[in-house]
């Protein structure tokens, strides 16, 4: 079974990020790392291929600048190869442009399954997986917290607010997985060393037959009109127990819908 | 060959992430209960740490001494005993790699890569340690075998090891190193784990007394073959030279943890209406701690880099081990003073740092032994006119 995992390389969340005041987007001229939310999809893919007994895990990613550091991390975990779509014209791409580019790259692989995170840790639109599925005319299951494959059928436990649904889905399909789906492995030293020599195919937009005017800033259908600092943290409410504190805490948690 | 810098950084960073995420939050549970950290050990195997220094020719990764020392520092920053699980193995690997016959290298090194076949190092006895002249454990030839009798002390990883690098006195009254193969466990063909030693720190891995009664070792298991008979002391001292760099790296790791903890606490804890970091007395302590830590690290990695360049580093390794271990103890003590009463409790890790640091002062040659080594080298380097 061949699985493609869509992975994003993002600025390290441990370093305070900066916004570009002109474009109102995150500056990405620093070292990029693998988005942690994608490491779950990579691990899930490795386990599924392992269980199937054959096949391989391939990565698909896009970035304007040709950075591969994050991809190497996923390759070190065990993925076999990567396609990196790299083109200056990709800067400023919105979710739909991203989906178009990734879908075009995925088509070259013809996989049995496409895994993604539910959303990236820097953009948080959470719409790319479904857009990829639509563009590839494939079924899509979101928020997978458990994925099993049997032949040409995937069974997915799909996280909901109140529990989970069990969804069966024919393959190929696009499945987005949550952070709880599996525990990502640490790359082994051998994996890290081997990753240096694993193939990363770099493609530009013309190789995928995509008009640069339809992606990036040129093709953006969404615009960031305003950015503002997040409000300062306010002092919390102190609940003094006069016999009914537990009821007030329960009501508070109920309001937050965390119960 | 020197490990590529970018690759070394990535390997060290992988260990650092693991230590931060999975070791530090769980260490107290194993350390206080003196329980072997099985899951951590398995992750160390998965990383490939046990084969990391073995030559690629024998299935290892062949990383250099400097990178290994950086990894040891990171492990020790989280849980010093993890470095101990690794270090006796590393000493065994170094001895076989440097002095083993080709047959011995081919037989043992590939099996030592994945952590399932681990080495212990056994020099010390109840009445002998660095004073190798007093070793009493005996090996006598009987046909194609050697018969071992004696008692060994302070054998780290002795129970779980599959291979013991055993130093024993041969009939020529010299010291020979034997590759003692055994099954992990407390009893094997005349080898008995006669006592598990309870310790102040360095907990979670076993340090044992081992007795040998008529244990038989085949002749081909003399390290270095026929030529190795009588050369065990030289082989051991050579491996311990690197061992001392690693003890220094452990001291740097624990000292870093003690310093980090003190810096954080000093900025959070308030007395007399302000964070204690603003009190000059505390500032001076932290300034001294940071300076000693910096000096320790520079000395340790200077020795490691020289060793990688092929230099004999007994003096530099001795200096690094002496300075870094004493500094680590002082830094841990200062960290405890900064933490006040909290530092004296098991709620904070500082008491562990204070219990762990004396091991580095005493193990693999005390500070006094290091000073003797340094002084001897000084005479060589600065002969009288």
From the list B241, B316, B351, B364, the catalytic residue is B364
pLDDT at residue B195, rounded to an integer = 85
The Cα–Cα gap between B66 and B23 comes to 23
The residue behind tokens 């990613």 is A61
The mean pLDDT value for B84-93 works out to 92
pLDDT exceeding 90 applies to what percent of chain B? Answer: 86
Q: In B, which residues are within 8 Å of A196 by CB distance? A: 7
pLDDT tens digits for B248-299?
999 999 999 999 999 999 999 999 999 999 999 999 999 999 999 999 999 9
Q: Report the residue of B48, B67, B75 to disrupt the A interface, i.e. the one with the largest count of A CBs within 10 Å.
A: B48
The Cα–Cα gap between B10 and A212 comes to 35
pLDDT of A259 above 80: no
The Cα–Cα gap between A110 and A115 comes to 13
Residue B32's SS3 state is helix
Q: Is B61 in contact with B51 (CB distance < 8 Å)?
A: yes
pLDDT tens digits for A56-86?
999 999 988 888 999 999 999 999 999 999 9
Q: What is the mean pLDDT of chain B?
A: 94
**Of residues B242 and B40, more confidently modeled:** B40
Q: Is B75 in contact with B83 (CB distance < 8 Å)?
A: yes
A3-233: CATH number: 3.40.50.620
CA distance A194 to chain B (A): 11
Q: Report the residue of B8, B10, B50, B61 to disrupt the A interface, i.e. the one with the largest count of A CBs within 10 Å.
A: B10
pLDDT tens digits for B91-133?
999 999 999 999 999 999 999 998 889 999 999 998 887 777 8
How long is chain A?
259
Q: Is A93 in contact with A102 (CB distance < 8 Å)?
A: no
Residue B371 burial (10 A CB sphere; 0-12, 13-18, 19+): middle
Q: Which two tokens stand for residue B191?
A: 């080898």
CA distance B11 to chain A (A): 6
What residues of chain B, 8 to 67, have a C-beta less than 8 Å from chain A? 10-11, 14, 17-18, 43, 46-49, 52, 61, 63
Q: Please give the domain boundaries of chain B with CATH numbers for all domains.
A: 5-112 (1.10.540.10), 119-229 (2.40.110.10), 234-381 (1.20.140.10)
pLDDT at residue A28, rounded to an integer = 77
ipTM for the assembly: 0.86
Q: How far is CA B310 from the centre of its chain?
A: 21
Is the CB of A188 inside 8 Å of chain B's CB atoms?
yes
What residues of chain A, 196 to 235, have a C-beta less than 8 Å from chain B? 196
Which of B175, B182, B189, B188 has its CA nearest to residue B224?
A: B175
Q: Do A186 and B49 touch (CB under 8 A)?
A: no
Neighbours of B263 (CB within 10 A): 16
Q: Is B158 in contact with B180 (CB distance < 8 Å)?
A: no
Q: Do B61 and A188 touch (CB under 8 A)?
A: no
Q: In B, which residues are within 8 Å of A188 by CB distance? A: 46-48
Q: In A, which residues are within 8 Å of B11 by CB distance? A: 189, 192
Q: Name which of A26-30, A168-172, B106-110, B326-330 the model is least confident about.
A: A26-30
CA distance A190 to chain B (A): 7
pLDDT tens digits for A110-143?
899 999 999 988 878 889 999 999 999 999 999 9
pLDDT at residue B133, rounded to an integer = 80
Q: Do B14 and A190 touch (CB under 8 A)?
A: no
Our answer to whether residue B220 is catalytic in this structure is no
């Amino acid at each position: 079974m061949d699985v493609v995992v869509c992975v994003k390389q993002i600025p390290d969340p441990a370093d305070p990020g900066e916004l570009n005041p002109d474009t109102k987007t995150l500056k990405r001229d620093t070292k990029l790392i693998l988005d942690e939310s994608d490491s779950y999809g990579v691990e899930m893919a490795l386990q599924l291929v392992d269980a199937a007994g054959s096949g391989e895990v391939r990565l698909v990613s896009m970035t304007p600048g040709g950075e591969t550091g994050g991809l190497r991390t996923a390759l070190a975990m065990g993925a076999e190869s990567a396609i990196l779509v790299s083109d200056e014209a990709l800067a400023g791409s919105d979710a739909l442009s991203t989906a178009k580019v990734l879908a075009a790259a995925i088509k070259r692989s013809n996989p049995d399954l496409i895994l993604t995170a539910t959303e990236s840790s820097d953009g948080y639109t959470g719409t790319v997986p479904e857009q990829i599925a639509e563009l590839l005319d494939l079924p899509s299951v979101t928020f997978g917290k458990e994925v099993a494959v049997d032949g040409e059928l995937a069974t997915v436990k799909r996280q909901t607010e109140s529990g989970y649904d069990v969804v069966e889905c024919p393959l190929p399909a696009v499945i987005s997985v949550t952070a709880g789906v599996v525990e990502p492995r640490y790359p082994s030293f051998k994996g890290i060393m081997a990753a240096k020599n694993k193939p990363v195919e770099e493609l530009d937009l013309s190789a995928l037959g995509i008009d640069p005017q339809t992606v990036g800033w040129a093709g953006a259908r969404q615009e960031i009109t305003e950015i503002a600092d997040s409000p300062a943290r306010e002092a919390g409410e102190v609940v003094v127990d006069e016999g009914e504190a537990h009821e007030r805490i329960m009501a508070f948690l109920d309001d937050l819908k965390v119960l | 060959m020197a490990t590529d810098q970018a690759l070394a950084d990535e390997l060290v960073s992988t260990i650092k992430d693991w230590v931060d995420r999975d070791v530090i939050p769980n260490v107290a549970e194993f350390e206080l209960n003196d329980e072997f950290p099985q899951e951590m050990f398995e992750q160390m195997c998965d990383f490939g740490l046990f084969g990391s220094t073995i030559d690629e020719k024998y299935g290892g990764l062949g990383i250099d001494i400097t990178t290994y020392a950086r990894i040891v520092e990171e492990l020790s920053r989280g849980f010093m005993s993890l470095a101990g699980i690794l270090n006796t193995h590393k000493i065994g690997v170094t001895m076989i790699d440097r002095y083993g016959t080709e047959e011995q290298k081919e037989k043992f090194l590939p099996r030592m890569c994945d952590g399932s076949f681990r080495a212990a190092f056994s020099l010390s006895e109840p009445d002998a340690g660095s004073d190798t002249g007093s070793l009493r454990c005996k090996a006598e030839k009987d046909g194609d075998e050697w018969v071992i009798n004696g008692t060994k002390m302070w054998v780290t990883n002795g129970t779980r090891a599959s291979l013991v690098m055993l130093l024993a006195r041969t009939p020529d009254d010299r010291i020979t190193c034997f590759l003692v193969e055994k099954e992990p466990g407390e009893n094997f063909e005349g080898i008995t784990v006669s006592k598990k030693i309870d310790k102040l720190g360095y907990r979670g891995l076993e340090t044992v007394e081992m007795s040998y009664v008529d244990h038989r070792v085949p002749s081909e298991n003399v390290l270095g073959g026929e030529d190795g008979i009588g050369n065990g002391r030289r082989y051991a001292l050579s491996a311990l030279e690197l061992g001392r760099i690693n003890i220094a790296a452990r001291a740097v790791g624990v000292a870093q943890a003690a310093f980090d903890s003190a810096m954080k606490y000093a900025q959070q804890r308030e007395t007399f209406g302000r964070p204690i970091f603003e009190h000059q007395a505390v500032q001076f302590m932290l300034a001294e701690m940071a300076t000693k830590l910096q000096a320790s690290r520079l000395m340790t990695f200077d020795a490691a880099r020289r060793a990688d360049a092929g230099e004999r580093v007994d003096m530099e390794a001795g200096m690094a081990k002496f300075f870094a271990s004493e500094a680590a103890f002082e830094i841990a003590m200062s960290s405890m003073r900064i933490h006040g009463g909290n530092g004296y409790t098991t709620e904070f890790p500082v008491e562990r740092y204070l219990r762990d640091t004396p091991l580095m002062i005493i193990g693999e040659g005390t500070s006094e032994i290091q000073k003797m080594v340094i002084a001897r080298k000084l005479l060589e380097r600065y002969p009288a006119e």
